[in-house]
Structure 1
Protein backbone atom coordinates (compact mmCIF):
# COMPACT_ATOMS: atom_id res chain seq x y z
CA UNK A 1 0.00 0.00 0.00
CA UNK A 2 1.59 3.31 -1.07
CA UNK A 3 2.48 5.70 1.70
CA UNK A 4 0.92 9.12 1.27
CA UNK A 5 3.35 12.01 1.37
CA UNK A 6 2.70 14.26 4.39
CA UNK A 7 1.17 17.64 3.71
CA UNK A 8 4.28 19.57 4.86
CA UNK A 9 6.35 17.72 2.25
CA UNK A 10 3.82 18.57 -0.45
CA UNK A 11 3.92 22.21 0.57
CA UNK A 12 7.70 22.20 0.63
CA UNK A 13 7.83 20.59 -2.82
CA UNK A 14 5.55 23.31 -4.17
CA UNK A 15 7.82 26.02 -2.76
CA UNK A 16 10.88 24.28 -4.20
CA UNK A 17 9.36 24.15 -7.69
CA UNK A 18 8.37 27.82 -7.49
CA UNK A 19 11.86 28.86 -6.39
CA UNK A 20 13.49 26.82 -9.12
CA UNK A 21 11.21 28.34 -11.71
CA UNK A 22 11.98 31.82 -10.41
CA UNK A 23 15.69 31.17 -10.70
CA UNK A 24 15.25 29.93 -14.25
CA UNK A 25 13.37 33.08 -15.16
CA UNK A 26 15.92 35.47 -13.74
CA UNK A 27 19.14 33.97 -15.01
CA UNK A 28 20.59 33.03 -18.34
CA UNK A 29 21.93 29.52 -18.67
CA UNK A 30 25.69 29.68 -19.26
CA UNK A 31 26.51 27.74 -22.38
CA UNK A 32 29.81 26.25 -23.38
CA UNK A 33 30.80 27.28 -26.85
CA UNK A 34 31.70 24.44 -29.22
CA UNK A 35 35.26 24.19 -30.49
CA UNK A 36 34.77 27.08 -32.85
CA UNK A 37 35.01 30.85 -32.62
CA UNK A 38 31.76 31.28 -34.51
CA UNK A 39 28.51 31.47 -32.49
CA UNK A 40 25.74 29.09 -33.45
CA UNK A 41 23.07 30.57 -35.73
CA UNK A 42 19.75 31.34 -34.08
CA UNK A 43 16.47 33.05 -34.90
CA UNK A 44 14.12 34.91 -32.57
CA UNK A 45 10.40 34.45 -33.24
CA UNK A 46 8.42 36.60 -30.81
CA UNK A 47 4.84 36.77 -32.18
CA UNK A 48 3.24 37.86 -28.88
CA UNK A 49 5.90 40.35 -27.79
CA UNK A 50 3.46 42.81 -26.13
CA UNK A 51 2.14 40.04 -23.87
CA UNK A 52 5.64 38.77 -23.18
CA UNK A 53 6.77 42.27 -22.22
CA UNK A 54 3.97 42.56 -19.68
CA UNK A 55 4.94 39.28 -18.02
CA UNK A 56 8.60 40.29 -18.23
CA UNK A 57 7.82 43.46 -16.24
CA UNK A 58 6.24 41.30 -13.53
CA UNK A 59 9.24 38.94 -13.43
CA UNK A 60 11.67 41.84 -13.32
CA UNK A 61 9.88 43.41 -10.36
CA UNK A 62 10.19 40.16 -8.41
CA UNK A 63 13.84 39.94 -9.35
CA UNK A 64 14.66 43.56 -8.51
CA UNK A 65 13.02 43.46 -5.08
CA UNK A 66 13.59 39.86 -4.01
CA UNK A 67 16.12 37.65 -5.74
CA UNK A 68 18.79 40.07 -7.00
CA UNK A 69 19.31 41.76 -3.58
CA UNK A 70 19.75 38.35 -1.92
CA UNK A 71 22.19 37.33 -4.67
CA UNK A 72 24.24 40.51 -4.14
CA UNK A 73 24.47 39.77 -0.44
CA UNK A 74 25.49 36.20 -1.19
CA UNK A 75 28.39 37.44 -3.36
CA UNK A 76 29.82 39.19 -0.30
CA UNK A 77 30.16 35.92 1.61
CA UNK A 78 33.57 34.20 1.82
CA UNK A 79 34.69 32.60 -1.44
CA UNK A 80 35.09 29.24 0.30
CA UNK A 81 31.41 29.25 1.27
CA UNK A 82 30.27 30.24 -2.23
CA UNK A 83 32.46 27.56 -3.80
CA UNK A 84 31.04 24.92 -1.47
CA UNK A 85 27.46 25.88 -2.32
CA UNK A 86 28.23 25.95 -6.03
CA UNK A 87 29.92 22.54 -5.92
CA UNK A 88 27.10 20.97 -3.90
CA UNK A 89 24.42 22.32 -6.24
CA UNK A 90 26.35 21.15 -9.31
CA UNK A 91 26.90 17.68 -7.86
CA UNK A 92 23.25 17.21 -6.88
CA UNK A 93 22.29 18.07 -10.46
CA UNK A 94 24.63 15.50 -12.02
CA UNK A 95 22.01 12.68 -12.17
CA UNK A 96 19.84 14.78 -14.51
CA UNK A 97 22.91 15.64 -16.58
CA UNK A 98 23.60 11.89 -16.76
CA UNK A 99 20.04 11.18 -17.94
CA UNK A 100 20.32 13.80 -20.68
CA UNK A 101 23.74 12.50 -21.73
CA UNK A 102 22.12 9.11 -22.28
CA UNK A 103 19.12 10.58 -24.09
CA UNK A 104 21.51 12.44 -26.38
CA UNK A 105 23.27 9.16 -27.17
CA UNK A 106 26.58 10.33 -25.74
CA UNK A 107 28.04 7.38 -23.86
CA UNK A 108 31.39 9.01 -23.18
CA UNK A 109 29.87 12.08 -21.54
CA UNK A 110 27.49 9.91 -19.49
CA UNK A 111 30.42 7.89 -18.12
CA UNK A 112 32.22 11.13 -17.23
CA UNK A 113 29.14 12.47 -15.44
CA UNK A 114 28.56 9.24 -13.51
CA UNK A 115 32.20 9.10 -12.47
CA UNK A 116 32.14 12.69 -11.28
CA UNK A 117 28.99 12.10 -9.24
CA UNK A 118 30.34 8.99 -7.51
CA UNK A 119 33.72 10.56 -6.69
CA UNK A 120 32.37 13.92 -5.52
CA UNK A 121 29.52 12.42 -3.50
CA UNK A 122 31.90 10.16 -1.58
CA UNK A 123 35.40 11.62 -1.46
CA UNK A 124 34.10 15.15 -2.04
CA UNK A 125 31.75 15.06 0.99
CA UNK A 126 28.35 15.13 -0.74
CA UNK A 127 29.81 17.28 -3.49
CA UNK A 128 31.03 20.18 -1.35
CA UNK A 129 34.52 19.64 -2.81
CA UNK A 130 34.99 19.18 -6.55
CA UNK A 131 37.52 16.36 -6.27
CA UNK A 132 36.79 15.26 -9.85
CA UNK A 133 37.68 18.69 -11.18
CA UNK A 134 40.99 18.58 -9.31
CA UNK A 135 41.61 15.23 -11.02
CA UNK A 136 41.03 16.76 -14.44
CA UNK A 137 37.54 15.27 -14.92
CA UNK A 138 35.70 18.41 -15.98
CA UNK A 139 31.98 18.95 -15.54
CA UNK A 140 29.64 19.77 -18.39
CA UNK A 141 26.02 20.91 -18.48
CA UNK A 142 23.09 19.12 -20.10
CA UNK A 143 19.35 19.61 -19.72
CA UNK A 144 16.14 18.55 -21.42
CA UNK A 145 15.93 21.70 -23.53
CA UNK A 146 19.37 20.87 -24.92
CA UNK A 147 18.32 17.26 -25.48
CA UNK A 148 15.27 18.34 -27.47
CA UNK A 149 17.57 20.55 -29.54
CA UNK A 150 19.98 17.67 -30.14
CA UNK A 151 16.95 15.72 -31.36
CA UNK A 152 16.41 18.57 -33.87
CA UNK A 153 13.16 19.74 -32.32
CA UNK A 154 12.59 23.35 -33.40
CA UNK A 155 12.97 26.03 -30.70
CA UNK A 156 9.52 27.48 -31.35
CA UNK A 157 8.32 30.96 -30.41
CA UNK A 158 9.55 33.05 -27.51
CA UNK A 159 7.55 32.36 -24.36
CA UNK A 160 7.73 34.63 -21.31
CA UNK A 161 6.10 32.86 -18.39
CA UNK A 162 5.56 34.11 -14.83
CA UNK A 163 8.55 32.97 -12.76
CA UNK A 164 9.98 30.91 -15.64
CA UNK A 165 11.14 34.00 -17.53
CA UNK A 166 12.34 34.37 -21.11
CA UNK A 167 12.97 31.41 -23.36
CA UNK A 168 11.70 29.52 -26.34
CA UNK A 169 8.92 26.95 -26.21
CA UNK A 170 11.38 24.06 -26.48
CA UNK A 171 13.35 25.16 -23.41
CA UNK A 172 10.19 25.98 -21.45
CA UNK A 173 8.95 22.45 -22.09
CA UNK A 174 12.34 21.11 -21.03
CA UNK A 175 12.09 22.93 -17.70
CA UNK A 176 8.67 21.41 -17.02
CA UNK A 177 10.00 17.92 -17.81
CA UNK A 178 12.99 18.53 -15.53
CA UNK A 179 10.72 19.36 -12.60
CA UNK A 180 8.76 16.17 -13.20
CA UNK A 181 11.83 13.91 -13.31
CA UNK A 182 13.17 12.60 -10.00
CA UNK A 183 16.39 10.64 -10.63
CA UNK A 184 16.64 9.62 -6.97
CA UNK A 185 13.10 8.22 -6.81
CA UNK A 186 13.13 8.29 -3.03
CA UNK A 187 10.75 9.46 -0.32
CA UNK A 188 13.64 9.65 2.13
CA UNK A 189 13.51 12.71 4.37
CA UNK A 190 17.28 13.06 3.98
CA UNK A 191 17.03 13.17 0.18
CA UNK A 192 14.10 15.59 0.41
CA UNK A 193 16.11 17.88 2.69
CA UNK A 194 19.18 17.75 0.47
CA UNK A 195 16.97 18.47 -2.52
CA UNK A 196 15.49 21.52 -0.83
CA UNK A 197 18.96 22.80 0.12
CA UNK A 198 20.15 22.20 -3.44
CA UNK A 199 17.22 24.10 -4.95
CA UNK A 200 17.45 27.11 -2.64
CA UNK A 201 21.23 27.17 -2.97
CA UNK A 202 20.95 26.85 -6.73
CA UNK A 203 18.50 29.74 -6.92
CA UNK A 204 20.82 32.12 -5.08
CA UNK A 205 24.08 30.81 -6.52
CA UNK A 206 22.75 30.86 -10.08
CA UNK A 207 21.39 34.38 -9.77
CA UNK A 208 24.65 35.58 -8.23
CA UNK A 209 26.60 34.05 -11.12
CA UNK A 210 24.40 35.86 -13.64
CA UNK A 211 24.62 39.28 -11.95
CA UNK A 212 27.54 40.65 -14.02
CA UNK A 213 25.75 39.79 -17.25
CA UNK A 214 22.31 41.06 -16.26
CA UNK A 215 23.79 44.27 -14.84
CA UNK A 216 25.33 44.97 -18.26
CA UNK A 217 22.14 44.06 -20.10
CA UNK A 218 20.06 46.34 -17.89
CA UNK A 219 22.19 49.24 -19.10
CA UNK A 220 21.02 48.59 -22.67
CA UNK A 221 18.22 50.73 -24.15
CA UNK A 222 15.83 47.75 -24.13
CA UNK A 223 16.53 45.20 -21.39
CA UNK A 224 13.80 42.83 -22.62
CA UNK A 225 15.28 42.56 -26.12
CA UNK A 226 18.85 42.38 -24.80
CA UNK A 227 18.11 39.52 -22.40
CA UNK A 228 15.89 37.72 -24.89
CA UNK A 229 18.52 37.78 -27.64
CA UNK A 230 21.46 36.86 -25.38
CA UNK A 231 19.47 33.95 -23.97
CA UNK A 232 18.58 32.78 -27.48
CA UNK A 233 22.21 32.93 -28.56
CA UNK A 234 23.48 31.10 -25.50
CA UNK A 235 20.87 28.39 -25.83
CA UNK A 236 21.73 27.94 -29.51
CA UNK A 237 25.41 27.58 -28.54
CA UNK A 238 24.41 25.14 -25.80
CA UNK A 239 22.51 22.92 -28.25
CA UNK A 240 25.43 23.06 -30.69
CA UNK A 241 27.76 21.98 -27.88
CA UNK A 242 25.42 19.06 -27.10
CA UNK A 243 25.48 17.96 -30.72
CA UNK A 244 29.26 18.22 -30.73
CA UNK A 245 29.31 15.94 -27.70
CA UNK A 246 32.74 16.92 -26.40
CA UNK A 247 33.61 15.67 -22.93
CA UNK A 248 35.17 18.95 -21.89
CA UNK A 249 35.58 22.40 -23.35
CA UNK A 250 38.76 22.99 -25.31
CA UNK A 251 38.49 26.56 -26.56
CA UNK A 252 40.72 27.15 -29.56
CA UNK A 253 40.46 30.91 -29.56
CA UNK A 254 39.38 33.75 -27.33
CA UNK A 255 35.85 35.06 -27.63
CA UNK A 256 35.72 38.67 -28.60
CA UNK A 257 33.32 40.06 -26.03
CA UNK A 258 30.32 38.03 -27.13
CA UNK A 259 29.07 37.69 -23.57
CA UNK A 260 29.67 41.34 -22.83
CA UNK A 261 27.53 42.71 -25.59
Structure 2
Protein backbone atom coordinates (compact mmCIF):
# COMPACT_ATOMS: atom_id res chain seq x y z
CA UNK A 1 0.00 0.00 0.00
CA UNK A 2 1.24 3.48 -0.75
CA UNK A 3 2.91 5.30 2.10
CA UNK A 4 2.07 8.79 0.84
CA UNK A 5 -1.71 8.54 0.61
CA UNK A 6 -2.12 11.60 2.81
CA UNK A 7 -0.59 13.93 0.27
CA UNK A 8 -4.02 14.33 -1.25
CA UNK A 9 -5.99 17.54 -0.82
CA UNK A 10 -9.34 16.91 0.85
CA UNK A 11 -10.30 13.41 1.91
CA UNK A 12 -8.63 11.08 4.39
CA UNK A 13 -10.77 8.30 5.82
CA UNK A 14 -9.51 6.83 9.07
CA UNK A 15 -10.15 3.63 10.94
CA UNK A 16 -8.41 4.46 14.20
CA UNK A 17 -10.84 6.37 16.43
CA UNK A 18 -9.94 4.45 19.59
CA UNK A 19 -7.50 7.12 20.77
CA UNK A 20 -10.14 9.82 20.68
CA UNK A 21 -12.50 8.61 23.36
CA UNK A 22 -9.92 8.09 26.08
CA UNK A 23 -7.97 11.31 25.59
CA UNK A 24 -8.62 14.39 27.70
CA UNK A 25 -7.40 17.87 26.87
CA UNK A 26 -8.06 20.88 29.12
CA UNK A 27 -10.54 23.26 27.57
CA UNK A 28 -8.24 26.26 27.76
CA UNK A 29 -5.09 24.43 26.72
CA UNK A 30 -3.48 26.09 23.69
CA UNK A 31 -3.14 23.52 20.97
CA UNK A 32 0.32 22.84 19.63
CA UNK A 33 0.74 22.97 15.88
CA UNK A 34 1.60 19.60 14.42
CA UNK A 35 3.44 19.61 11.09
CA UNK A 36 1.33 18.80 8.05
CA UNK A 37 2.19 18.39 4.42
CA UNK A 38 -0.46 19.54 2.01
CA UNK A 39 -2.56 21.91 4.04
CA UNK A 40 0.24 24.26 5.03
CA UNK A 41 1.01 24.99 1.38
CA UNK A 42 -2.53 25.68 0.20
CA UNK A 43 -3.68 29.26 -0.18
CA UNK A 44 -6.01 31.23 -2.37
CA UNK A 45 -3.25 32.21 -4.78
CA UNK A 46 -2.76 28.59 -5.78
CA UNK A 47 -6.37 28.10 -6.82
CA UNK A 48 -6.09 29.21 -10.42
CA UNK A 49 -7.08 27.32 -13.51
CA UNK A 50 -4.39 25.05 -14.93
CA UNK A 51 -4.13 23.91 -18.52
CA UNK A 52 -2.35 20.57 -18.16
CA UNK A 53 -5.17 18.65 -16.44
CA UNK A 54 -5.93 15.32 -18.11
CA UNK A 55 -9.28 14.14 -16.79
CA UNK A 56 -10.55 11.46 -19.20
CA UNK A 57 -12.89 9.95 -16.58
CA UNK A 58 -14.50 13.22 -15.47
CA UNK A 59 -18.01 11.78 -15.41
CA UNK A 60 -17.00 8.92 -13.12
CA UNK A 61 -14.75 11.20 -11.09
CA UNK A 62 -17.59 13.61 -10.43
CA UNK A 63 -19.74 10.78 -9.08
CA UNK A 64 -16.90 9.77 -6.76
CA UNK A 65 -16.46 13.41 -5.79
CA UNK A 66 -20.11 13.65 -4.77
CA UNK A 67 -19.76 10.48 -2.72
CA UNK A 68 -16.69 11.82 -0.94
CA UNK A 69 -17.80 15.43 -0.58
CA UNK A 70 -21.45 14.90 0.33
CA UNK A 71 -21.19 11.78 2.49
CA UNK A 72 -17.82 10.33 3.41
CA UNK A 73 -16.16 13.60 4.37
CA UNK A 74 -18.89 15.37 6.39
CA UNK A 75 -20.11 12.23 8.16
CA UNK A 76 -16.84 10.38 8.68
CA UNK A 77 -13.49 11.96 7.84
CA UNK A 78 -14.13 15.50 9.08
CA UNK A 79 -15.76 14.77 12.49
CA UNK A 80 -13.35 11.98 13.40
CA UNK A 81 -10.34 14.05 12.36
CA UNK A 82 -11.48 17.03 14.41
CA UNK A 83 -12.21 14.78 17.39
CA UNK A 84 -8.71 13.34 17.17
CA UNK A 85 -7.11 16.79 17.03
CA UNK A 86 -9.33 18.26 19.76
CA UNK A 87 -9.15 15.46 22.30
CA UNK A 88 -5.81 13.73 21.81
CA UNK A 89 -3.12 15.29 24.04
CA UNK A 90 -0.72 17.39 22.04
CA UNK A 91 2.40 15.47 23.13
CA UNK A 92 0.80 12.25 21.89
CA UNK A 93 -0.19 13.81 18.57
CA UNK A 94 3.22 15.36 18.09
CA UNK A 95 5.01 12.11 18.92
CA UNK A 96 2.88 10.17 16.42
CA UNK A 97 3.40 12.81 13.72
CA UNK A 98 7.16 12.83 14.35
CA UNK A 99 7.39 9.05 14.21
CA UNK A 100 5.62 8.73 10.88
CA UNK A 101 7.41 11.71 9.37
CA UNK A 102 10.71 10.09 10.31
CA UNK A 103 9.81 7.01 8.27
CA UNK A 104 9.62 9.20 5.15
CA UNK A 105 13.07 10.78 5.57
CA UNK A 106 15.05 8.14 3.57
CA UNK A 107 12.68 8.38 0.59
CA UNK A 108 12.89 12.18 0.73
CA UNK A 109 16.67 11.91 0.88
CA UNK A 110 16.85 9.78 -2.27
CA UNK A 111 14.41 11.97 -4.15
CA UNK A 112 16.22 15.15 -3.12
CA UNK A 113 19.38 13.71 -4.70
CA UNK A 114 17.43 12.82 -7.83
CA UNK A 115 16.09 16.38 -7.96
CA UNK A 116 19.67 17.70 -7.70
CA UNK A 117 19.30 19.11 -4.21
CA UNK A 118 22.13 17.51 -2.22
CA UNK A 119 21.79 20.00 0.64
CA UNK A 120 18.24 18.85 1.41
CA UNK A 121 19.30 15.22 0.89
CA UNK A 122 21.99 15.54 3.56
CA UNK A 123 19.51 17.23 5.90
CA UNK A 124 17.03 14.36 5.45
CA UNK A 125 19.80 11.83 6.11
CA UNK A 126 20.99 13.59 9.25
CA UNK A 127 17.47 14.04 10.55
CA UNK A 128 16.71 10.35 10.06
CA UNK A 129 19.69 8.90 11.91
CA UNK A 130 19.65 11.52 14.67
CA UNK A 131 15.95 11.16 15.39
CA UNK A 132 16.04 7.37 15.05
CA UNK A 133 18.99 6.94 17.42
CA UNK A 134 18.45 9.76 19.90
CA UNK A 135 14.76 10.53 19.43
CA UNK A 136 13.32 7.14 20.40
CA UNK A 137 12.79 5.91 16.82
CA UNK A 138 11.64 9.35 15.76
CA UNK A 139 9.04 10.07 18.44
CA UNK A 140 11.07 13.12 19.50
CA UNK A 141 12.39 15.56 16.92
CA UNK A 142 15.91 15.90 18.28
CA UNK A 143 17.20 17.02 14.88
CA UNK A 144 15.16 20.22 14.90
CA UNK A 145 16.43 20.98 18.39
CA UNK A 146 19.94 20.49 16.96
CA UNK A 147 19.19 23.18 14.34
CA UNK A 148 18.44 20.77 11.48
CA UNK A 149 14.95 21.85 10.45
CA UNK A 150 12.96 19.55 8.15
CA UNK A 151 13.26 20.41 4.45
CA UNK A 152 10.24 19.86 2.24
CA UNK A 153 9.40 16.19 1.82
CA UNK A 154 10.05 14.76 -1.63
CA UNK A 155 8.38 11.80 -3.33
CA UNK A 156 9.36 9.91 -6.44
CA UNK A 157 6.34 11.36 -8.19
CA UNK A 158 7.94 14.78 -7.64
CA UNK A 159 11.19 13.48 -9.10
CA UNK A 160 9.41 12.23 -12.21
CA UNK A 161 7.74 15.59 -12.63
CA UNK A 162 11.06 17.36 -12.13
CA UNK A 163 12.37 15.61 -15.26
CA UNK A 164 9.32 16.43 -17.34
CA UNK A 165 7.06 13.42 -16.80
CA UNK A 166 3.45 14.61 -16.90
CA UNK A 167 0.86 13.99 -14.21
CA UNK A 168 -1.05 11.58 -16.42
CA UNK A 169 -4.75 10.81 -15.95
CA UNK A 170 -6.50 12.30 -12.94
CA UNK A 171 -8.66 10.08 -10.76
CA UNK A 172 -11.03 10.74 -7.86
CA UNK A 173 -11.10 7.61 -5.74
CA UNK A 174 -13.66 6.92 -2.97
CA UNK A 175 -12.18 6.78 0.54
CA UNK A 176 -8.97 8.13 -1.00
CA UNK A 177 -9.40 11.41 -2.81
CA UNK A 178 -7.56 12.79 -5.83
CA UNK A 179 -4.59 11.03 -7.39
CA UNK A 180 -2.73 11.01 -10.69
CA UNK A 181 -0.98 8.18 -12.47
CA UNK A 182 2.42 9.80 -11.83
CA UNK A 183 1.76 10.04 -8.12
CA UNK A 184 0.57 6.45 -7.91
CA UNK A 185 3.71 5.14 -9.63
CA UNK A 186 5.86 7.37 -7.46
CA UNK A 187 4.24 6.21 -4.25
CA UNK A 188 4.80 2.58 -5.22
CA UNK A 189 8.49 3.31 -5.82
CA UNK A 190 8.86 5.16 -2.50
CA UNK A 191 7.36 2.17 -0.72
CA UNK A 192 10.40 0.11 -1.73
CA UNK A 193 12.77 2.16 0.45
CA UNK A 194 13.64 1.18 4.00
CA UNK A 195 12.00 1.53 6.48
CA UNK A 196 8.76 2.01 4.54
CA UNK A 197 9.25 -1.36 2.85
CA UNK A 198 9.15 -3.06 6.27
CA UNK A 199 5.62 -1.87 7.05
CA UNK A 200 2.83 -4.38 6.81
CA UNK A 201 -0.49 -3.52 5.18
CA UNK A 202 -2.07 -2.64 8.53
CA UNK A 203 0.89 -0.57 9.63
CA UNK A 204 0.75 1.36 6.36
CA UNK A 205 -2.98 1.82 6.87
CA UNK A 206 -2.35 3.20 10.35
CA UNK A 207 0.24 5.64 9.01
CA UNK A 208 -2.21 6.81 6.35
CA UNK A 209 -4.98 7.22 8.93
CA UNK A 210 -3.04 9.23 11.49
CA UNK A 211 -1.43 11.49 8.90
CA UNK A 212 -4.78 11.84 7.18
CA UNK A 213 -6.46 13.05 10.38
CA UNK A 214 -3.88 15.79 10.78
CA UNK A 215 -4.13 16.87 7.15
CA UNK A 216 -7.94 16.84 7.12
CA UNK A 217 -8.19 18.87 10.32
CA UNK A 218 -5.71 21.41 8.97
CA UNK A 219 -7.87 21.90 5.89
CA UNK A 220 -10.84 23.18 7.89
CA UNK A 221 -9.64 26.76 7.53
CA UNK A 222 -9.69 26.36 3.72
CA UNK A 223 -13.25 25.04 3.50
CA UNK A 224 -14.73 28.46 2.74
CA UNK A 225 -12.69 28.62 -0.47
CA UNK A 226 -14.26 25.38 -1.62
CA UNK A 227 -17.78 26.36 -0.59
CA UNK A 228 -17.56 29.68 -2.44
CA UNK A 229 -16.38 28.03 -5.65
CA UNK A 230 -18.93 27.72 -8.47
CA UNK A 231 -17.60 24.23 -9.26
CA UNK A 232 -15.94 22.60 -6.24
CA UNK A 233 -14.88 19.58 -8.29
CA UNK A 234 -12.89 21.64 -10.80
CA UNK A 235 -11.63 23.86 -8.00
CA UNK A 236 -10.19 20.90 -6.08
CA UNK A 237 -8.86 19.18 -9.20
CA UNK A 238 -7.01 22.26 -10.46
CA UNK A 239 -5.64 23.09 -7.01
CA UNK A 240 -4.42 19.52 -6.61
CA UNK A 241 -2.67 19.48 -10.00
CA UNK A 242 -1.13 22.87 -9.37
CA UNK A 243 0.13 21.69 -6.00
CA UNK A 244 1.73 18.64 -7.63
CA UNK A 245 3.32 20.82 -10.31
CA UNK A 246 4.70 23.09 -7.60
CA UNK A 247 6.27 20.14 -5.81
CA UNK A 248 7.76 18.87 -9.07
CA UNK A 249 9.65 22.14 -9.51
CA UNK A 250 11.25 21.70 -6.10
CA UNK A 251 9.14 24.54 -4.76
CA UNK A 252 10.56 27.09 -7.17
CA UNK A 253 8.48 29.61 -9.09
CA UNK A 254 8.89 29.23 -12.86
CA UNK A 255 11.04 31.91 -14.49
CA UNK A 256 8.22 33.38 -16.55
CA UNK A 257 6.02 33.75 -13.46
CA UNK A 258 8.87 35.41 -11.58
CA UNK A 259 9.34 37.86 -14.43
CA UNK A 260 5.63 38.65 -14.48
CA UNK A 261 5.70 39.30 -10.74
CA UNK A 262 8.67 41.64 -11.18
CA UNK A 263 6.89 43.54 -13.96
CA UNK A 264 3.79 43.81 -11.81
CA UNK A 265 5.86 45.22 -8.94
CA UNK A 266 7.36 47.79 -11.32
CA UNK A 267 3.85 48.74 -12.44
CA UNK A 268 2.76 49.27 -8.85
CA UNK A 269 5.82 51.44 -8.24
CA UNK A 270 4.86 53.62 -11.20
CA UNK A 271 1.36 54.03 -9.79
CA UNK A 272 2.79 55.06 -6.43
CA UNK A 273 4.74 57.86 -8.15
CA UNK A 274 1.53 59.62 -9.21
Deviation sequence 1:98-154 (CA, Å, 0-9, x none): 232233343222211010011111222222222212232121210121111112101
**What is the aligned partner in structure 1 of residue 267 from structure 2?**
none
Shift of 1:71: 0.5
**What is the aligned partner in structure 2 of residue 65 from structure 1?**
75
Give the Cα–Cα distance (whole angstroms) in 1 for the partners of residues 131 and 96 of structure 2.
13
**What is the aligned partner in structure 1 of residue 183 from structure 2?**
171
Structure 1 segment 91-240 matched on structure 2, within 5 A: 91-139=102-150, 140-179=152-191, 181-184=192-195, 197-214=206-223, 216-240=225-249
**What is the aligned partner in structure 1 of residue 57 from structure 2?**
48
Give the Cα–Cα distance (whole angstroms) in 2 for the partners of residues 135 and 18 of structure 1.
31
Aligned partner of residue 148 in structure 2, secondary structure: coil
Give the Cα–Cα distance (whole angstroms) in 1 for the partners of residues 224 and 2 of structure 2.
24
Q: Runs of 5+ in structure 2 lacking a partner?
A: 13-36, 254-274
Equivalent residue in structure 1 for 2:11, among 9, 21, 26: 26
Aligned partner of residue 152 in structure 1, secondary structure: coil
Aligned partner of residue 136 in structure 1, secondary structure: coil
Aligned length: 221
Q: 1:20 to 1:68 in 2, by over 3 A?
A: farther
User: What TM-score comes out, normalization by structure 2 length?
Assistant: 0.66
Greater Rg over alpha carbons, structure: 2
C-alpha contact (below 8 Å) 2:106/2:194 kept by paired residues? yes
Q: 1:221 to 1:147 in 2, by over 3 A?
A: same
Give the Cα–Cα distance (whole angstroms) in 1 for the partners of residues 247 and 4 of structure 2.
20
**What is the aligned partner in structure 1 of residue 85 from structure 2?**
75
C-alpha contact (below 8 Å) 1:32/1:241 kept by paired residues? no
What is the root-mean-square deviation in Å for CA atoms of aligned residues? 3.5
Deviation sequence 1:213-247 (CA, Å, 0-9, x none): 24542443322122112212222211122679xxx
C-alpha contact (below 8 Å) 2:246/2:252 kept by paired residues? no
C-alpha contact (below 8 Å) 1:85/1:205 kept by paired residues? no
Shift of 1:75: 1.7
C-alpha contact (below 8 Å) 1:19/1:200 kept by paired residues? no
User: What TM-score comes out, normalization by structure 1 length?
Assistant: 0.69
Give the Cα–Cα distance (whole angstroms) in 1 for the partners of residues 2 and 41 of structure 2.
27
Aligned partner of residue 159 in structure 1, secondary structure: strand
C-alpha contact (below 8 Å) 2:47/2:239 kept by paired residues? no
Give the Cα–Cα distance (whole angstroms) in 2 for the partners of residues 196 and 169 of structure 1.
20
C-alpha contact (below 8 Å) 1:30/1:234 kept by paired residues? no
Give the Cα–Cα distance (whole angstroms) in 1 for the partners of residues 61 and 11 of structure 2.
14
C-alpha contact (below 8 Å) 2:46/2:243 kept by paired residues? no
C-alpha contact (below 8 Å) 1:97/1:142 kept by paired residues? yes
